Amino acid sequence: MAQPVKVRITYCAECGYETQTLQLAKDLMYKFQDQLSSIELIPWRDGAFDVSVNGELVHSMYRDGGFPPSQTVIEAVEKQLAA
Amino acid sequence: MAVTREEFESAMTYDQWKAGWTRNHDRFAAQERSYQPDPADVEALKKLPKPVNVLAIVEDWCGDVVANVPIIERLARESGKLNVRYVQRDSTPFIDRYLNRGQFKSIPVFVFLDENFNELGVFYERPDSVTKLRADKRLEVFKNNPAFGDPNAPPDQLPEDVRNQLNQALQKMREETQPFYDKESSRWIRELAARAA
């Protein structure tokens, strides 16, 4: 059985990133349903938009620029589920 | 393309924009209470020969909008020389003309225009001096508390209690640097408006 996968989305709460945060969360919920152990939303500051899957940073706005395509995060989750 | 008279006159007044706010009423009110303009800035604006038009590109969720709008509104009210109108970034096309460093949809944007709608200058987001000060102070916060770890690491890697402590420390730093922020924004607004003289 695949290990439970935890996704964390850290978003700048004073930058208007709620829309992108909720869209990504929704895409993950629809795609994986009960295969995820949790999706944690962390309100932060300073322009952050980070996504980690089981503790591995798969996207950082500082590092990678912009918002991640949902598919990037979906593939990172699929990799963890297959591990 | 700058901003035409027709576009400017169709933009919202402060009260019209304020009536549509969906959040941050308390934060706007707190900044309105705490900001005290430097009399020198007000006097310099009063001496302008004619009022200056300012198109403000804003959204109510943005921290820098919350910081800067009460400043420009207070300076406008006390000097009688700034005619400020508001448009929302996410529902109007103006931001595409005023991308910060040609790339970023940073707000607020204050576009200063003379009586003939010639562009005098543009205020983007916050003064560079504030960005630098806060970046330096942020590093100090991490240096003074090793539990906060690497300043460049994502905060979700911290235990929740430590992350909350870091958040509080960063908020305290923000509050402590706010007077400098207010002073620098006021100065920048005054200098841009003075180009009309």
> Can you say whether residue B80 is alpha, beta or left, with left for phi > 0 and alpha for psi between -120 and 50 degrees?
left
Rounded percentage of chain B residues whose pLDDT exceeds 90: 93
Say which CATH topology domain B5-126+184-194 has: Glutaredoxin (3.40.30)
CB atoms within 10 A of CB B100: 14
Dist CA B158 CA B125 (whole Å): 29
pLDDT surpassing 70 at residue B65:
yes
Interface probe, candidates A7, A21, A22, A45, chain B, greatest B C-beta count within 10 A: A45
Dist CA B34 CA B11 (whole Å): 28
How close B77 gets to chain A, by Cα (Å)? 27
The pLDDT tens digits of the residues spanning B34-63 come to 999 999 999 999 999 999 999 999 999 999
Secondary structure of residue A2 in the 3-state scheme: coil
Q: Label residue A1 by pLDDT band (50, 70, 90).
A: low
Domain ranges of chain B: 5-126+184-194, 129-172
Q: Give the predicted TM-score (pTM) of the model.
A: 0.89
A7 contact B CB<8A: no
Burial profile B62-79: b = 16 or more Cβ within 10 angstroms, e = fewer = bbbbbbbbbbbbbbbebb
The three-point CA angle B104-B106-B111 to 5° equals 110
List of domains in chain A: 5-82 (3.40.30.10)
